[in-house]
Amino acid sequence: MAAVREALPASLATTFCGLPFASPIVLLSGCVGFGEEYTRIEGFSNRDCGALVLKGTTLQPRLGNPPHRVCETPMGMLNAIGLQNPGAQHVVSRILPELDFAETRFIANVSGSTIEEYVAVVRCFDDSPIDAMEINISCPNVKEGGVQFGNYPDMSARVVAACRAATAKPLITKLSPNQTDIRENARLCIEAGSDGLSVINTIMGMAIDIRTRRPVLGNVHGGLSGPAIKPIALLKVREVYAVAKPHGVPIIGQGGIVSANDALEFIIAGASAVGIGTALFYDPQCCRRINEGIAVYLAEHGLAGVAALVGTLDIASCPSAE
């Protein structure tokens, strides 16, 4: 008989886009497949997270990019998977029925090459038990669609507005750091109807094999994730928080989180939830450790919950305060 799993501390419970999360941790798209990849790892449980974002899904099946698709870098990882997936209808009809929606919240990641494709995928998930949808307008490892939409605020807003008209489910827009002004993009996406924001997606990068003088990745470039991008991600969360706070729009802060201290920094900067991705590849049990650290911090500082810590960064005393 399987051991009874202890419930997460009540202080970790939070609300994101009107959805109750048992923990502020969100497992990021592309890192846990369609919610079932880590179930074969002893001790891993979806109950350790508040939500899980499914792998990026397009309307039709995609084979993805040629190999190599992943490359380890100092303090990080490059990936160029290319949105390999079985298509939206397969996910809705074959995969979602196998998921335990009592364990955690499940968020679909909607991807596309055209606005029409985004809308079609949203409509597929609208008629499903999925809890919310993340609009992937900033995927750096496909040659069309994501990069174009995510790096131009006006185009980002057009995608969000079209998706908003196709569903009443919560929409979370994933913002790219590979743009001139992420704050303007956030503002326009909020005005277009985004209920939440994911900050940030991976940063464009590449690696070269000096023996062959060829790119390591088959797609030439890919998305850099892991601890190497954490300082950049923290700054972007802080910048977007200033835009999102007046509208009451919450943020999933992500980019290089591997410890409770990392997660706490993002929450203090303005994130209502924190995304864990690359860390899962070398420490599948890290969510439990991060949850424990957050709970201890909240207790030590007399805070009733995560919400009391969000956006509490003290910059008033800084010589060059905003």
The torsion angle over the Cα atoms of residues 315, 317, 319 and 321, rounded to 10 degrees, is 30
Q: 236 in helix, strand or coil?
A: helix
Using CB atoms within 10 Å of the CB of residue 91, give its burial: 0 to 12 exposed, 13 to 18 middle, 19+ buried. Answer: buried
Per DSSP bridges, beta strands 14-16 and 19-21 are: antiparallel
Cβ-contact 136, 174 below 8 angstroms:
yes
Residue type, 143: K
Max alpha carbon distance in the chain (Å)? 60
Cis upstream peptide for 200 (omega within 30°)? yes
Given 139, 189, 286, 287, which residue is catalytic? Answer: 139
Phi, psi of 90 (to 5 degrees): -65, -40
User: At 90, which helix (H) or strand (E)?
Assistant: helix 88-90
Nearest CA-CA partner of 145 in 163, 165, 184, 118: 118
Start-end of H helices in 245-312: 260-269, 286-300
287 is catalytic: no
Active-site positions read 139
